[in-house]
């Protein structure tokens, strides 16, 4: 089982969640990979041992409070759309192409 990643947040930068995440590139890359792996698991579940987890990551704020973020199947489309927005802003067009294909097939 893969280790759940932690992402540092600065709550004073809120209330918009994107503004609070310190490593936005790492977060959006992880979220995209999480959805891809989850979709692969759904399509090819026979090759995997055990269930997948819906825990996306943990956020840790400046006071060392930890918040667990879950991502279930019904949130994949919205999450990929958020990833697409981020990667368009940062001009990572290879990832944009992948995400658009995934969104088309959801």
Q: Is residue 61 part of a domain?
A: yes
Q: Kindly report the pTM of this predicted structure.
A: 0.85
* Res. 31 pLDDT band, cuts 50 70 90: very high
Q: Is residue 21 part of a domain?
A: yes
Report the mean per-residue pLDDT for the chain: 88
* Res. 53 pLDDT band, cuts 50 70 90: confident
Q: Is residue 65 part of a domain?
A: yes
Q: Is residue 1 part of a domain?
A: no
Task: Please state the domain count of the chain.
Answer: 1
Sign of CA dihedral 17, 20, 21, 23: positive
């Amino acid at each position: 089982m893969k280790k759940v990643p932690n992402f540092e947040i600065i709550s004073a930068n809120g209330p918009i969640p994107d503004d609070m995440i310190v490593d936005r590139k790492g977060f959006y890359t992880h979220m995209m990979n999480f959805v891809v792996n989850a979709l692969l698991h759904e399509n090819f579940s026979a090759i995997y041992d055990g269930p997948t987890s819906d825990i996306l990551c943990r956020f840790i704020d400046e006071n060392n409070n930890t918040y667990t973020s879950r991502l279930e199947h019904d949130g994949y489309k919205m999450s990929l759309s958020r990833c697409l927005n981020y990667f368009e802003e940062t001009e990572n067009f290879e990832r944009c192409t992948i995400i658009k294909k995934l969104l088309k097939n959801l």
